[in-house]
Amino acid sequence: MTAALTFRNLTLGYDRHPVVHHLEAEIVEGSLTAVVGPNGAGKSTLLKGVIGTLAPLEGRIALGGINRDDIAYLPQQSDIDRSFPISVRDLVAMGLWREIGPFGRLRPPHRDRVAAAVSAVGLTGFEDRPIGALSGGQMQRVLFARLLLQEARLVLLDEPFTAIDARTMADLLGVVRRWHGEGRTVLAVLHDFETVRAHFPETLMLARELVAHGPTAEVLTAENQFRARTMAEAPDPDADVCERGAA
Amino acid sequence: MIWDAVIQPFADFGFMRRALLGCVAISLGATPVGVFLMLRRMSLTGDAMAHAILPGAAVGYLVAGLSLGAMTIGGMIAGMAVALLSGFVTRATALREDASLAAFYLISLALGVLIVSTRGSNVDLMHVLFGTVLALDDAALILLCSLASLSVVTLALLFRPLVLECADPQLLRSVSGLSAVTHFVFLALVVISLVGSFQALGTLMAVGIMILPAAAARFWATGIGGLLIAAVAVAILASLSGLLLSYHYSLPSGPAIILVAGLAYGVSLVFGPAGGLVARALPRRHLEA
Q: For chain A, how many structural domains are there in total? A: 1
Whether residue A210 lies inside any domain: the answer is yes
Question: Is the pLDDT score of A246 beyond 70?
Answer: no
Q: Say whether A85 and B222 touch across the interface (CB within 8 A).
A: yes
pLDDT digits (tens, 9 = 90+) for B198-233: 878 877 788 899 999 999 999 999 889 999 999 999
Alpha carbon of B287: minimum distance to chain A alpha carbons (Å): 15
Cβ of residue A235 closer than 8 Å to a chain B Cβ: no
Instruction: Name the residue in chain A with its Cα closest to that of B224.
Output: A85
Q: What percent of chain A has pLDDT over 70?
A: 97
Mean pLDDT of all residues in B71-84: 88
Mean pLDDT of all residues in B143-150: 92
| B chain contacts of residue A130, beta-carbon cutoff 8 Å | 222
**Burial (Cβ within 10 Å: 0-12, 13-18, ≥19) of residue B237:** middle
Question: Is the pLDDT score of A222 beyond 60?
Answer: yes
Residue B123 has a pLDDT of: 67
Whether residue A238 lies inside any domain: the answer is no
Whether residue A116 lies inside any domain: the answer is no
Instruction: Name the residue in chain A with its Cα closest to that of B158.
Output: A102
Residue B121 has a pLDDT of: 66
Whether residue A87 lies inside any domain: the answer is no
Question: Is the pLDDT score of A95 beyond 60?
Answer: yes
What domains sit in chain B, N to C, each tagged with a CATH number?
A: 2-276 (1.10.3470.10)
pLDDT digits (tens, 9 = 90+) for A29-46: 999 999 999 988 899 999
Contact assessment for residue A23 and residue A209, using Cβ atoms and an 8 Å cutoff:
yes
Cβ of residue A75 closer than 8 Å to a chain B Cβ: yes
Residue A247 has a pLDDT of: 46
Q: Say whether B170 and A130 touch across the interface (CB within 8 A).
A: no
Question: Is the pLDDT score of A114 beyond 60?
Answer: yes
Contact assessment for residue A91 and residue B164, using Cβ atoms and an 8 Å cutoff:
no
Question: Is the pLDDT score of B128 beyond 70?
Answer: no
**Out of B160, B161, B167, whose CB is closest to A81?**
B167
Whether residue A95 lies inside any domain: the answer is no
**Out of B157, B168, B175, whose CB is closest to A69?**
B175
**Out of B164, B221, B224, whose CB is closest to A94?**
B164
Distance, CA of A36 to chain centre:
12
Instruction: Name the residue in chain A with its Cα closest to that of B218.
Output: A85
Residue A3 pairs in a beta bridge with: A28
Whether residue A189 lies inside any domain: the answer is yes
Please state, rounded to an integer, the average pLDDT across all residues of chain A. 89
Please state the ipTM of this predicted complex.
0.78
pLDDT digits (tens, 9 = 90+) for A2-31: 888 999 999 998 888 888 989 999 999 999
Q: Residue A38: name the closest of A239, A241, A244, A205 by CA.
A: A205
- Between the two ends of chain B, the Cα-to-Cα distance in Å is 52
Residue B41 has a pLDDT of: 85
Residue A239 has a pLDDT of: 78
Cβ of residue A55 closer than 8 Å to a chain B Cβ: no
Alpha carbon of B185: minimum distance to chain A alpha carbons (Å): 14
pLDDT digits (tens, 9 = 90+) for A66-90: 887 789 999 888 788 888 889 999 9
Whether residue A89 lies inside any domain: the answer is no
Mean pLDDT of all residues in B164-186: 85
Distance, CA of B59 to chain centre:
22
Residue B66 has a pLDDT of: 67
pLDDT digits (tens, 9 = 90+) for A134-187: 988 899 999 999 999 999 999 999 999 988 888 889 999 999 999 999 999 999
Alpha carbon of B226 to those of B174, B203, B218: distances in Å?
A: 29, 28, 9
Whether residue A119 lies inside any domain: the answer is no
Question: Residue A33: which domain range?
Answer: 1-66+154-164+183-233
Q: Say whether B176 and A97 touch across the interface (CB within 8 A).
A: yes
Residue A13 pairs in a beta bridge with: A18
Residue B150 has a pLDDT of: 94
For the domain that residue A56 is a member of, what is the CATH number?
A: 3.40.50.300
